[in-house]
Structure 1
Amino acid sequence: MNNNQNLLKEKIAKVLTEVLSRNVQPNELTNEVDLINEIGLNSLQFLEFILEVENEFDIEIDVGNLDLRYFKKYMYLEKFISECIAEK
């Protein structure tokens, strides 16, 4: 894993920690982890997570085009956020 991926994972863990009000360690974010069913994002926290990700990474996420499968595996979310960062 390169430094950019490590930094991205640390920032996502930080946002999850804020949203879930529990400590989420970067090592919990394996490529296969399901953020909804395993990490525990509920529907309200999901929306807060999206807003916090936008703030943390200074990106804009089009919720209308947001696909829930990005949250079924961490690796999909990481790729999606990386693409959003690259587009800005």
Structure 2
Amino acid sequence: MWDKLLTLNALTYMKKVSEGTEDDTTILPFFEYLQENVNYKVIVVLATRWHVYDVVGQTGISINYVTEKHASRFIMLMDYLSKRFLKGELK
């Protein structure tokens, strides 16, 4: 399932929305951290509900799951996955 979540398109999206502050050297270690520390089922459930949380809620969830170090990356990834879910591309 991780292969459906952590795709090249997700990587490209994150690089684009970060406006050059993120690249392969920061995003790929985040992907590894995520796989080692968070169950993919949690990511899928969060992606289905991500759009209902406000910024404060999203930030709190992010810090809870991936620490402050990766929180902004988690938010970018969840924005991407949430959009995919809403389009019916993620099931």
Taking structure 2 as the reference length, the TM-score comes to 0.38
Q: Which has the higher helix share?
A: 2
Taking structure 1 as the reference length, the TM-score comes to 0.39
